[in-house]
Amino acid sequence: MIRARFGTLRGLVRLILSYPQLTLGLSASRTADPAQVRRLVFVCQGNICRSALADVAARRAGLRAASFGLSTTTGRAAHDPAIVAAHALGHDLSRHRAIDMADYVPQEGDLLLAMEVRQLHRLAADSRLNHLPRLLLGRWTRPMLPHLHDPYGLDDRYMATCLARIEQAVARLVSAFPGARLS
């Protein structure tokens, strides 16, 4: 059950720890004014599973979106199991190419949406990005899951579960950030 729902025991522990971090203001979140948000930028480690799916799902929902990875190689293709799981949800990741954080070009109105608290801390520590609003994508899942554990190399069932959670969160962003909608 843990492998299918949380990826690993570590994923479950990080999820449990993320609730008090978020509640006590220890997540390095930086609130966004919804009226000022013009583009949703999804962030994860490699930009080949989680943020890649969020980017594709957001664009399909009619939102301005981008994505990047904190530690990846620009141009890298999406992870094959992510492509399969995304396809089952009706999304095509076959043309996605990763973008490394160093190659991401911030724009006015960007909102960074990370998958994990530790990713928010990395964004807050980066002098080029620390002024941008940043939140956890998992705040928009139901139930709220502030930690969306990395499915890379894990059980295919968890890959499907994780990407479905991300798709669900992205669907809620449409009404939360109307300024990010394409005209």
Active site residue ranges: 44, 50, 150
- Three-state DSSP class for 69? strand
* Interatomic CA distance for residues 20 and 81, integer angstroms: 32
DSSP 8-state code for residue 128: T
Report phi then psi at 179, rounded to 5. -70, -15
Please, are residues 99 and 74 in contact by the beta-carbon 8 Å criterion? Answer: yes
* Interatomic CA distance for residues 47 and 24, integer angstroms: 28
Please, are residues 42 and 65 in contact by the beta-carbon 8 Å criterion? Answer: yes
* Interatomic CA distance for residues 7 and 89, integer angstroms: 19
